[in-house]
Structure 1
């Protein structure tokens, strides 16, 4: 059983803390009281059970951490592969093998505006809901207050 999300992880940590507190309570009882042999055996068994529970919770936490590290590693590996492929395409089509990183960036900056303007719609980023709300707000203000047109256009220019 692995821990799927942070909520499960925190609940497992809380379980572990609860078990540790129970162990401390058992040890305090053991130290403070004069107990007979049967009571000592019961307390020892309880202590063993609580330590086993703590060990199981710790194992769950360790598994989830390892799984999370594994997933992060896979995502990093996928991202690295994607960057390598894009870099190879850049070198192939722009003959940029001989250019340094800074020179490549300068070359891309020269053509970026032209490429982005002529990019087909299916390759453009779609507007998220916050951008749509922002545009609605701008249009609403333009229609309600004509004198705000100049400042709104200026603001849009700097926003994008």
Structure 2
């Protein structure tokens, strides 16, 4: 299953980033007024603006994490479907941002939550690869049901 998920999410992530570069260079575009805008930002660090300027070493870590996860999936074929999807999403997200860091020197972010709702009012701009990592981690944190044989 990860053989399909990882390349699909990687390709989708890069297509969205290329579209953002092409269509958002002149400024933000509102998708859902008061909730969601698309704004082009180049992030030279990690999530939430941490480690600004650390693109090179972050790219090495991202590549290693992606390969480590795929190796783990290969060595553990009896993982649940949810675990396999979650780990595949994390690997795709890590590689998606690594591709940016290696190829562009920064990560292309474009999803901008524009709302006055307190918890997400100042939420950082992010991308599909970031979403893959967050959703993958959230899936891993869900309680797993064990099959009774």
TM-score, scaled relative to structure 2? 0.30
TM-score, scaled relative to structure 1? 0.28
Higher helix share: 1
Structure having greater relative contact order (Cα 8 Å, sep ≥ 6): 2
Larger Rg: 1
